Structure 1
Amino acid sequence: MGSQEVKLLSFWVSPFSKRVEWALKLKGIDYEYIEEDVFNKSHLLLELNPITKKVPVLVHGQKTIAESFVIIEYIDETWNDQYPLLPQQPYQRAIARFLANLVEEHVMKPAFVAMCATGEEREKAMNVIREAMYRIEEEIKGKKFFGGENIGYLDIALGWISYFIPVWEEVGSLEIIDPFKYPATYAWMTNFITNPMIKDTLSQRDKMIDYFHNMKREYSST
Structure 2
Amino acid sequence: MASENVKLLGFWVSPFSFRVEWALKLKGVEYEYIEEDIFNKSHLLLELNPVHKNVPVLIHGQKVILESFVILEYIDETWKQCPLLPQDPYQRAIVRFWTKFAEEKLLGNAWMAMCSEGDEKERALKASIEAIEKIEAELKGKTQFFGGESIGYLDLALGWISYWLPVWEEVGSMKIVDQIQFPNTTACMNNFLKHPVIKDKLPPRDKMIVYFEKRSKEIASLIAATRKG
State the TM-score, normalizing by the size of structure 1.
Answer: 0.97
**1:32 counterpart residue number:** 32
Query: Once the 2 structures are TM-superposed, how far is the Cα of residue 123 of structure 1 from its aligned partner?
Result: 1.2
Query: Once the 2 structures are TM-superposed, how far is the Cα of residue 150 of structure 1 from its aligned partner?
Result: 1.0
Gaps of 5+ in 1: none
**1:212 counterpart residue number:** 212
Cα distance per residue 1:22-48 (max 9 Å; x no partner): 100101100000000000001110111
Q: Is the 8 A contact 1:10 1:36 kept in 2?
A: yes
Q: Is the 8 A contact 1:87 1:147 kept in 2?
A: no
Query: Once the 2 structures are TM-superposed, how far is the Cα of residue 196 of structure 1 from its aligned partner?
Result: 1.5
Aligned amino acid, residue 127 of structure 2: V
**1:20 counterpart residue number:** 20
Aligned amino acid, residue 95 of structure 2: A
Q: Is the 8 A contact 1:139 1:146 kept in 2?
A: no
Aligned amino acid, residue 41 of structure 1: K
Cα distance per residue 1:70-98 (max 9 Å; x no partner): 00000000112x00000111111111111
Q: Is the 8 A contact 1:8 1:58 kept in 2?
A: yes
1:184-195 aligned at under 5 Å gives the runs 184-195=184-195
Query: Once the 2 structures are TM-superposed, how far is the Cα of residue 193 of structure 1 from its aligned partner?
Result: 0.8
Q: Secondary structure of the equivalent of 2:77?
A: helix
**2:84 counterpart residue number:** 85
In angstroms, what is the RMSD of aligned CA positions?
0.9
Q: 1:162 & 1:86 partners in 2: Cα distance? A: 20
Q: Secondary structure of the equivalent of 1:159?
A: helix
4+ residue runs over 6 A deviation: none
Gaps of 5+ in 2: 223-229
Q: Is the 8 A contact 1:6 1:59 kept in 2?
A: yes
Aligned residues: 221
**2:7 counterpart residue number:** 7
Q: 2:44 & 2:50 partners in 1: Cα distance? A: 10
Aligned-residue sequence identity (percent) comes to 64
**2:131 counterpart residue number:** 132
1:31-110 aligned at under 5 Å gives the runs 31-80=31-80, 82-110=81-109
Q: Is the 8 A contact 2:95 2:147 kept in 1?
A: no
Q: 1:156 & 1:150 partners in 2: Cα distance? A: 12
Q: 1:213 & 1:131 partners in 2: Cα distance? A: 25
Query: Once the 2 structures are TM-superposed, how far is the Cα of residue 60 of structure 1 from its aligned partner?
Result: 0.3
Q: 1:146 & 1:175 partners in 2: Cα distance? A: 20
1:150-189 aligned at under 5 Å gives the runs 150-189=150-189
Query: Once the 2 structures are TM-superposed, how far is the Cα of residue 119 of structure 1 from its aligned partner?
Result: 1.6
Q: 2:83 & 2:122 partners in 1: Cα distance? A: 39
Cα distance per residue 1:146-167 (max 9 Å; x no partner): 3322101100000011000110
